[in-house]
Amino acid sequence: MNSGRVNRSQDTVDLLAVGETMIVLVPDPIGPLRTAASFSSSVTGAESTVARYAARLGMTSAWCGGVGDDPFGARVLAELAADGIDVSTVRVSAASTGVFFKDPGPAGTRVRYYRKGSAGSEVNRRWWESLGELCPRVTHLTGITAALSEGALDFLRFGLETRPIPNTVYSFDVNYRPGLWGVSEAAPMLRELADNADIVFVGLDEARELWRVAEPIEVRELLDGPQIVVVRDAANGAHVFAGRERAFAPALSVDVVEPVGAGDAFVAGFLWAWDSGLGLAEQLAAGHIVAAVALRSSADVAPFDGQTLELLSELAGEVVR
């Protein structure tokens, strides 16, 4: 497990993730938001979660996003740096750091966002100039960014269409968030963005909602641009399509404590295995192993236990630190 800060004297980082990281507040004790008298809080964001799990796997990781010149922004930077994440390209803004609240209820947990005009929404195509200095082997993006602002959408489109960072593989997680935009607007845009990436991750449930497809192979047929398409089918497992090759790996059976963050953990595990040169089945297996860590914990980024390290070591053929 990598616990030190990334050494910036290195010529490259293994993984760069770009997107908004926020503070989430949860009623404590758990209950409806309208009756909550106190809250617990933590740092969270899809892209930075991928970077944090990747760092735990021994990858040198960087995260870039916008944070406010405020206590929440300072907390984001401090916690990510403590996890060994390079935050040298993060933009500090006069705008506020985004926050959101979880609203647990009998029908499930809803999310209440307070992020309009946030520092994270200020991302734009000019940011690519500084990101290239990191020389990442993998650049990870998500569809969440597309819904934040016109400038943020332009950042994604420009990056995936023009490839401003040479010699990097562009990874894209569709990550559709209904609370940010509707299907009619999101569906064509997320398909366009995904089709311009090299590695794409999408849940079968969200693919059905967005594009009215029924089976994993239909997702691959819809997205024929990427080199690799990974379709996660919840507790059933995950499919990967790479050229004429394909593989399936069942999900691990775990007692679920909190599903939030498991998709990002899966992405980190998959990208680590891909970057390590493992085969398709092993890439899926690594994704499931790291996702299981997230599922078994209420923490935003959970530590690895001995069993997890052993499983990953068996895949890689060496001990994961």
CATH (domain of 40): 3.40.1190.20
Could you tell me if residue 158 is inside a domain?
Answer: no
Could you tell me if residue 84 is inside a domain?
Answer: yes
Could you tell me if residue 1 is inside a domain?
Answer: yes
Could you tell me if residue 112 is inside a domain?
Answer: yes
- H-type alpha helices, the chain: 46-56, 71-82, 128-131, 150-162, 183-195, 204-211, 216-222, 262-275, 280-295, 306-316
Q: Are the CB atoms for 51 and 63 separated by under 8 Å?
A: yes
- Quickly tell me which residue has 């090759």 as its tokens: 245
Q: Considering its fold, how many domains does the chain have in total?
A: 1
**Residue 69 known to be catalytic:** no
Could you tell me if residue 244 is inside a domain?
Answer: no
As given in the structure block, the two tokens for residue 230 are 């990974």
Task: Fill in the DSSP letter of residue 282.
Answer: H
Q: Mean pLDDT in the chain? A: 91
Q: Are the CB atoms for 70 and 96 separated by under 8 Å?
A: yes
Torsion angle in degrees (nearest 10) through CA of 305, 49, 184, 100: 110
- Quickly tell me which residue has 């933590």 as its tokens: 42
Could you tell me if residue 184 is inside a domain?
Answer: no
pTM: 0.92
Could you tell me if residue 44 is inside a domain?
Answer: yes
Could you tell me if residue 77 is inside a domain?
Answer: yes
What Rg do the C-alpha atoms of the chain give, in angstroms? 18
Confidence of residue 318 (pLDDT cuts 50, 70, 90): low
Q: Give the Cα separation of 14 and 136 in Å (integer).
A: 6
Range of the domain at 109: 1-125
Out of 14, 83, 86, 264, pick the active-site residue: 264
**What integer pLDDT is reported at residue 303 of this predicted model?**
84
Q: Output 304 or 11, whichever has higher pLDDT.
A: 304
229-281 per-position pLDDT tens digit:
999 998 899 999 999 999 999 988 777 666 677 899 999 999 999 999 999 99
